[in-house]
Structure formats: C-alpha cells, structure tokens
Amino acid sequence: MASDTQSATENEQHTAPRATQAGASSSAAARRPATGPRWIVPAKVAVFIAAWYPLARIVLFGMTDRLGANPIEFITRSTGLWTLVFLCITLAVTPLRRLTGVAAFVRFRRMLGLYAFFYATLHFTTYIWFDKWFDVAAILKDIGKRPFITVGFAAFVLLIALAVTSPRAMVRKLGRRWQTLHRAIYAIAMLAILHFWWMKAGKHDLILPKIYGAIVVALLGWRVLVWLRERRRRLK
Ligand code: HEM
C-alpha cells in the first residue's frame, strides 16, 4: 500500500539478505537478521504498538465517561483526524528516506498505510452504523445536506483498493500496474483535505484544514519538484 516515486522492486530490494552482501565469512553479518538493519524489527514493533494509541484513547475515554455529550461525534471526528494523520505520515516516508539516505524507512510504509485504512474503516463504520444505523434514506438525506461526506467516501473507496493490493503477492502479480494504482494515495490525500476543509468551512473553523492542507501540499509538492529535476536531468 501507499506506493511512491520509487518502485515496488525497490521495496523488495531492501529486504535482500544483508549477510550475503557482507560476505559469508563474517559471523557478525551472518547473525544479523536477513531482513535489514538491526534496529528495524524493534522499531517496527514500536510503531505497530504506538499506532494503536488513537483507538486505545477512544476505548479509555469510553470507559471513563470522557467522550463528551456526543460520543458518536467524538469517535467520528477522532478516527477521521487520525486517518488523515496516518495518510500524512505514510506520504512522509519517501521524502524522509531521500533526505536522510536511510533506505530502511521504506519498510514502514505498508504498515502505516494499512493503519490509515484501519482508522478510515473505523471512521466509516462509526458513521454508517452507530450514527445512521444503516438507514440508507437517512444517509442520503445527510449527504444532500453535507456533500463533503461523498468526498470522504470516494477517498475511502480508493483506500480499499490500495489495502486489498498491499500484500507482497499482489505487488508481484500486478508488476508495474501496482505502482500506477498506488499513486492513488496522492488523490486520496487531496480528497481527504477537501473532505475536511468542506466540513470545517461550514463551521467557519479552517485552522486545522489549513495546517493539514499545507502539510499535504508540501509532501506532494516535494514529489513534483523531484520529478521535474529528474526529468530535466534525463533530457540533458
Ligand atoms: C480517507 C478517508 C477519510 C478521511 C481522511 C476522513 C477525514 C475526516 C476528518 C479529518 C474529519 C473531521 C474531524 C474533525 O472534526 O476534527 C472528518 C469528518 C467526518 N467524516 Fe470523514 N474522512 C474520510 C472518509 C469518510 C467517509 C467514508 C465517511 C462516510 C461515508 C466520512 C464521514 C464523515 C463525517 C460524517 C464527518 C463529520 C463528523 C461530524 O460532523 O461530527 N468520512 N473526516
């Protein structure tokens, strides 16, 4: 999930056994995990655990009666915002990798993208189940009043496509098409900002949408600049 300017093959490349590169004679290299730098496994475990924080917070608040006067609204808003946060972190992986030169960062991308999908699913489920009780008429009436919901839905449908094609087997099966499909992450990020902006515009409270909008513009703008620079170099 969440491809970028680099290829799926690059993703695989970083999983190549390092021990082979260092030489079979090196016992230190032989002891090293075959999947990358030593810090990668504990770091991935730490990120995996930390990513449960938003859900744990909701559960804790629920158990201690701190979800406010409208708990459904609290959960919808919290899961929506965390979906956006995970989308931004996923999009930040490639710039971070390129700017620091730490190739192993790319190994976190799939997990972070799947967490964005996880929180989007909770967000969507809270809305159609606990807010609307699967009442199609009520949902359509709400969409009529608040069209930003359709934009969020479009982002969610694209996210489903990326989540379904995120396993390694799908990367291999789809080849180059996988990369093209996973560029949808850019459209998802823009739809998410539009969804957020539109919702908050109705409440005349655009501070957060502006902050997240600036983050997404910076993350996508960086890619455009890199693409233009590489294109210019190729044409020389
Ligand atoms: C990638 C997908 C999505 C993202 C990133 C996203 C993000 C957000 C964000 C950031 C908010 C505002 C939270 C706040 O006030 O702090 C929000 C609100 C909302 N979203 Fe989404 N959303 C997504 C998909 C959806 C979908 C699929 C639906 C329903 C079909 C939906 C329905 C809503 C509703 C109803 C609200 C307003 C809640 C309220 O007024 O209290 N969203 N969303």
Q: How confident is the model at residue 27 (pLDDT cuts 50, 70, 90)?
A: very low
- Using CA atoms, how far apart are residues 185 and 117, in angstroms rounded to an integer? 11
Where are the chain's structural domains? 8-235
Q: Which amino acid is at 159?
A: L
Ligand 1 pocket test: pick from 76, 136, 148, 160 the residue with the most ligand atoms within 8 Å of its Cβ.
Answer: 76
**Is the Cβ–Cβ distance between 50 and 114 less than 8 Å?**
no
**Is the Cβ–Cβ distance between 155 and 188 less than 8 Å?**
yes
Ligand 1 pocket test: pick from 1, 75, 82, 83 the residue with the most ligand atoms within 8 Å of its Cβ.
Answer: 83
Q: Which atom of ligand 1 is nearest to the CA of 83?
A: 5
* Predicted local confidence at residue 1, as pLDDT: 55
Ligand 1 pocket test: pick from 78, 123, 156, 207 the residue with the most ligand atoms within 8 Å of its Cβ.
Answer: 123
**Is the Cβ–Cβ distance between 196 and 212 less than 8 Å?**
yes
The answer for 180, left when phi > 0, alpha when psi is -120 to 50, beta otherwise, is: alpha
DSSP letter, residue 133: T
Pocket of ligand 1 (CB under 6 A): 73, 76-77, 80-81, 83-84, 120, 123-124, 127, 149, 152-153, 155-156, 159, 188, 192, 195-196, 199
| Residue nearest (by alpha carbon) to ligand 1 atom 10 | 81
The answer for 12, left when phi > 0, alpha when psi is -120 to 50, beta otherwise, is: alpha
Span from the CA of 161 to the centroid of ligand 1 (angstroms): 19
Structure tokens at 7: 């290829």
Q: What is the pLDDT of residues 64-108, one digit of tens each?
A: 999 999 999 999 999 999 999 999 999 999 999 999 999 999 999
**Is the Cβ–Cβ distance between 95 and 219 less than 8 Å?**
yes
Q: How confident is the model at residue 36 (pLDDT cuts 50, 70, 90)?
A: confident
- Using CA atoms, how far apart are residues 58 and 60, in angstroms rounded to an integer? 5
**Residue 127 pLDDT greater than 80, yes or no:** yes
- Using CA atoms, how far apart are residues 115 and 236, in angstroms rounded to an integer? 41
CB atoms inside a 10 Å sphere around CB 25: 7
- CA end-to-end distance (rounded Å), the chain: 33
Structure tokens at 184: 């949808």
